[in-house]
């Protein structure tokens, strides 16, 4: 099965209308909803036109012809109501609880305690405050949904509703189904990075200032910045990489995991389009980019480009995919 890192949430955009006395032309967007491998092993793209003109919420499909690397439109459609809700992962009353879209509990285990962390890592945690980060991913991914990044603020000081720490230590916890326990590793590399990002400042909640976003082969830092999109092509972006033998290391996304030139390609796509492109990478380090040119396409089609690591600056395949 192909595996993908997806860097952008799907953004549903309304029709843009000039607020001045003159109305601008209507501009409709086509959005990528999902990219997955079907039961036959075919790479499948799911996309939808702007909800303002697609009142019935019709999704369309395209399959990738691996001989030509052209997307072939499928006649299969589905309604918005058929979309399955995502799983929910949270810490509740000291337990990690995973529920499906219908609310049924799929997994429930006590989270690692401070004593668990200290005993497995020999790291002393004085006056701690613990924060948990969870990751969701599909089957056959190296990072599964029972993986937690545990951030422990040390020497906690309470200032009203705020917590201040002298340092933040990070740990990786993975649930061992066979032995029914959490295996915990000390991530001193990440702690150093976090010390830089937080700089001993307030840490309120990890939903607000998470330094990772969900992916499959890697868990990557999210830059804390006013420009929320900047981290996607930032050359300094680092990721936790887990290998088949279980080893974990911190590497630069561009230059160590993927070709350095990909950063420039993605940055250029950002600059040349009104709205951010959808960017994916497969296990062979191929880059898939989907983007709109609203002035030209007006919701009739969108663009696909593919780049390969042996020629990372030249698009190997280009295509207009029609609605």
Angle subtended at Cα 90 by Cα 86 and Cα 92, rounded to the nearest 5 degrees: 140
With contact defined as beta carbons under 8 Å apart, do 207 and 214 qualify? no
pLDDT band per the 50, 70, 90 thresholds, residue 188: confident
Question: pLDDT, tens digit, for every residue of 137-173?
Answer: 443 344 566 778 888 888 888 777 777 788 888 898 9
Provide the β-strand partners of residue 47: 32, 60
pLDDT band per the 50, 70, 90 thresholds, residue 197: low
What is the C-alpha separation between 90 and 134, in angstroms, rounded?
8
Closest CA to 233 of 220, 242, 247: 220
What is this structure's pTM? Answer: 0.69
Predicted local confidence at residue 234, as pLDDT: 82
Average pLDDT of the residues in 92-113: 85
Closest CA to 126 of 153, 155, 99: 155
Q: What percent of the chain has pLDDT over 70?
A: 70
Predicted local confidence at residue 233, as pLDDT: 84
The first and second tokens of residue 189, run together, are 């590399």
Question: pLDDT, tens digit, for every residue of 40-71?
Answer: 878 889 899 887 788 777 889 999 998 999 99
266 alpha carbon, distance to own chain's centre: 16
Question: pLDDT, tens digit, for every residue of 217-235?
Answer: 556 765 444 454 556 788 8
Q: Is the pLDDT of residue 92 over 90?
A: no
189 alpha carbon, distance to own chain's centre: 21
Closest CA to 150 of 127, 176, 168, 167: 168
């Amino acid at each position: 099965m192909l595996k993908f890192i997806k860097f952008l949430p799907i953004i549903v955009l309304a029709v843009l209308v000039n607020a001045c006395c003159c109305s601008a032309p209507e501009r409709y967007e086509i959005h990528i909803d999902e990219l997955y491998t079907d039961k036959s092993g075919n790479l499948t793209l799911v996309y939808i036109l702007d909800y303002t003109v697609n009142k019935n919420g019709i999704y369309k499909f395209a399959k990738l012809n691996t001989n030509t690397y052209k997307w072939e439109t499928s006649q299969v459609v589905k309604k918005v109501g058929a979309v399955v809700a995502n799983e929910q992962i949270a810490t509740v009353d000291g337990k990690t609880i995973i529920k499906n879209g219908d609310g049924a509990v799929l997994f429930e285990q006590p989270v690692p305690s401070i004593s668990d962390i200290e005993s497995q890592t020999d790291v002393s945690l004085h006056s701690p405050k613990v924060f948990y980060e969870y990751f969701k991913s599909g089957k056959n991914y190296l990072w599964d949904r029972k993986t937690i990044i545990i951030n422990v603020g040390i020497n906690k000081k309470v200032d009203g509703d705020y917590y201040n720490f002298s340092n933040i230590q990070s740990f990786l916890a993975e649930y061992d189904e066979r032995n029914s326990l959490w295996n915990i590793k000390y991530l001193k590399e990440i702690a150093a990075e976090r010390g830089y990002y937080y700089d001993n400042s307030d840490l309120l909640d990890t939903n607000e200032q998470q330094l990772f976003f969900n992916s499959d082969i890697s868990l990557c830092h999210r830059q804390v910045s006013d420009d929320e999109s900047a981290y996607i092509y930032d050359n300094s972006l680092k990721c936790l990489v887990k290998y088949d033998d279980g080893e974990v290391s911190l590497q630069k996304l561009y230059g160590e995991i993927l070709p350095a030139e990909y950063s420039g390609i993605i940055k250029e796509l950002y600059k040349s389009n009104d709205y951010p492109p959808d960017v994916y990478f497969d296990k062979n380090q191929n880059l898939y980019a989907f983007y709109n040119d609203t002035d030209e396409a007006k919701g009739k089609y969108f663009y696909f480009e593919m780049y390969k690591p042996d020629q990372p600056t030249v698009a190997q395949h280009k295509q207009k995919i029609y609605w």
